[in-house]
Structure 1
């Protein structure tokens, strides 16, 4: 078929959709977009290439026959996601979107109808034409397809809980404000703004869990090397855990959970610093050698920054670093996860 599949999200791997579609469509290449999608892809062992870019960026750089493969948490959220990606591609580039949650092939914005028909015929999925909604006014962002009660993210940081199916955010006045549909988490908004006001038009926004499947255990990697610091930004983990990393210092409850989940398969231990405000966005799991401590007084932000500055993060033995760090924190934290014995 001479096709390039761009795959988004972990669920499409965990449910077996990617393996099935590779068998049916015989793509010449499968590109994976997204952090947890990369984790699920690596666990699957399928012949794919992982990227650090969002789907719209990957698709915009391709020519020829391409399609987006996704499995939304609901058929409605899957459709909304495809519409969003199609809208980001701009004029002149349509999108063939294979949505596994509803067994639908969407042909967005007058995309390659011949390709869409071929995919629908081979998969047995319904073929549906669609037109994406244009960009909304600057400084305002809608996050659609939310389920009330679930966490809402901006650039990987939980900023609150959805109260409606659509969350509306405003970036006017030098801050991020919830216009409607969100019960804000002030500490989350503070973390988000720490690096400056984000561009809401371009920000990565989502709601719900980042993965429903449990993590898989991989083989332990090197026990010596440098330590990567991930401070309330678990979505950047893959940019940091390159060669020579023997462990990760993760700051924040959800960041620790995400780092533990991803590093579990990679065999990299985590030293997590938390303060008990987790939003349960992913099932945690930790590689052997991992330790998670909860701050007795104060916030994980402050203690995490202190450790990043005062503790040596250059080539060293992970086990020794953990023991020395725990001794330095005596009376200030309590250990809540301890995998030092494997």
Structure 2
């Protein structure tokens, strides 16, 4: 993206823009302290702090452009400043405009457990076939997903986006921004019950991803999960159900747990067979690997190539094996780990 595109997009939505010299935007940030040169700064209002109070700091750190609700205090003639009514709404509009400009195929991934690992596996595997963009870190929310799109380039052909939620309607909003043609649901479990109120509400949220897909799209869903499987029968788009049960179109065999060395299993699809050898520790991650294979199939990659790409993927996953100075091993799964993720780590 460039600041010229940002200015054009924001003006088209009716916002005031003070446009500076045209410059590349290479990413997005919402924390002024972490803003790096080339990154757009989005001034969100939080519960305790208001990002609009830190616009000048972000500009000082090299942001070529900002989207904010109040003009900065200083004079920044070389930078592009868009003053909007609501930063979250404006950034969603900007992200959608940029996605459409880039004309990429979008794969969305959601689930209670394993989203980040599945996203990383999918992106690394797809990069063997296509120039692939993916959401960095945990930029997966109303604020985060549009920021993730700031690093999308016009030479990308596919974007893999993680989609999370902690309130009603959030995934539907993310789908309205990203307009995915492929949507994967890994599982549905008890997270954010304090905000959603019931398992049924969480289920509706997660399943809003496949329900948003166009008729020509593909849903990749875990048919071993009792809360996910029923959605397959109601969808008008193609469905690739994955799992170990006979109901799975993309079916895995028994998983051989190799401990800290990873896991291996066979997989079948449409009469073909391939072997998968994961280099990420944890047999419980086979679910995410199957989703990564399913997304590749949905985008036209063959089973053998998809399995080989996942097998060769080296990622910085959630579970990191670290060595102390005396040679002891520490299993670091402290990245916002859910109870299910911790249980999987303890089985190693």
Question: Shared topology, TM-score over 0.5?
Answer: no
Structure with higher RCO (Cα < 8 A, 6+ apart)? 2
Which one has a larger percent strand, Structure 1 or Structure 2?
A: 1
Question: Quick check: which one's helix share is greater?
Answer: 2
TM-score by length of 2: 0.29
